[in-house]
Structure 1
Amino acid sequence: MSEEISFRTKVVHASLGIDEATGALNTPLHLSSTFHQPDFDNYHAFDYARSGNPTRQAVEEAIAKLENGTHGFAFATGMAAISAALLTLSQGDHFIISGDVYGGTFRLTEQVLPRYGITHTFVDMGDLDAVAAAFQENTKLVYVETPSNPLMRVTDIAAVARLAKEHDCLTFVDNTFLTPVLQRPLDLGADLVVHSATKFLGGHSDILAGLVVTNNEELAKQIY
């Protein structure tokens, strides 16, 4: 019970903040594409909206807190977030992926990444022997979607993450369906979490958004 209360408190604190300029309790929408700089040698924290925006930063800090990560990143769509995560791979790399992933992720894996020399193996993540057998010399990560969309198959994240670490590989988890309210993959050994925030995190069918969270400094640099 105390853990649930603690998480609910974290949600409140992640969602609200006092705007220093106005005292507003709701995060202002900053629509500027560029930001004034005090001088040539001392740049403000924000310069161009693509690289940073105060409103987006508030979202990124919130999801990082909720997922117990150190770095959060917001994207225009869930597929943008997933694409950014998988494009941390390079030519010649191989990855293992849940056999029943979301259609957009499937198409990215099957139709786009092979053009960049990135190969993959689809496996039933519920069969740990199959996961273990799928590792190759060039395998760099295991991509888990749990529960999967739309079949709702559940993966033991901690067990898969242990297998990945034994093979010196990273573990990425799509946490769209459970959200950090019910599942926090980083606590279970994952290295990176992705969300289509369009779905349950948004909750009202009125936004498109994607999120990435990690506590791995090198991954954070690549995603940024």
Structure 2
Amino acid sequence: MSEPHILVIEDDDAISTLIQYNLEKEGYDVAVAGDGEEGLMQSEERLPDLVVLDWMLPKVSGIEVCRRLRSRPESRNVPIIMLTARGEESDRVRGLDVGADDYLTKPFSVPELNARIRAVLRRMRPGLADDRLSHGDIVVDRVSHRVRRAGREVHLGPTEYRLLDHLIQHPGRVFSREQLLDAVWGSDVYVEARTVDVHVGRLRKALMQDVDIDPIRTVRSAGYSLDLEG
């Protein structure tokens, strides 16, 4: 499945660059438009799977862009998340009234924007909600909880599966033992950091059955990453 295509319509270069960098890191295919007119043109050339839309835009306002996207049959159901410095409730209601699906007030945090995008895509376009994740020859089917490597089924325990599921969402990124404990076991559960090493060892062994290349990189005194390219 190809990556969801996200169109960011934002006239502040620093903000659009920040959004593009972080969304591409999450695996999305991102295009950027610097004003409302260009945003509408890009959406006609290639229909996005989701639009991140600033309220205050040159040439054509965010509200008008939203209205026009909703009036065209082909873009009527494209999810729209509006970004705005306007925090008043009446403005928020107006944005939702013209067809925005969600609303984020500046300044916003990148993790919150990522979470909103995932939630909107899951709700509006379930087929795009990362049901299958892959890295190199490893494929995780999140619906059936099945894992394959080089076409062969890999049998994992529940903890090893959750560990792989977390790592494959951020290939190449190094996670400390503490970060993996929080993500896989939960921050309210007391588990020794050494436990992570044991489960990483089991996951590595399962993934390397019949395959020579080790997909898990151990970074001394830093942690682990899923990295078939490193």
Q: Same fold (TM over 0.5)?
A: no
RCO greater where, 1 or 2, for CA within 8 Å and sep 6 or more? 1
Q: Please identify the structure whose Cα radius of gyration is greater.
A: 2
What TM-score does the superposition give when structure 1 sets the normalisation length?
A: 0.39
Q: Higher helix share goes to which structure? A: 2
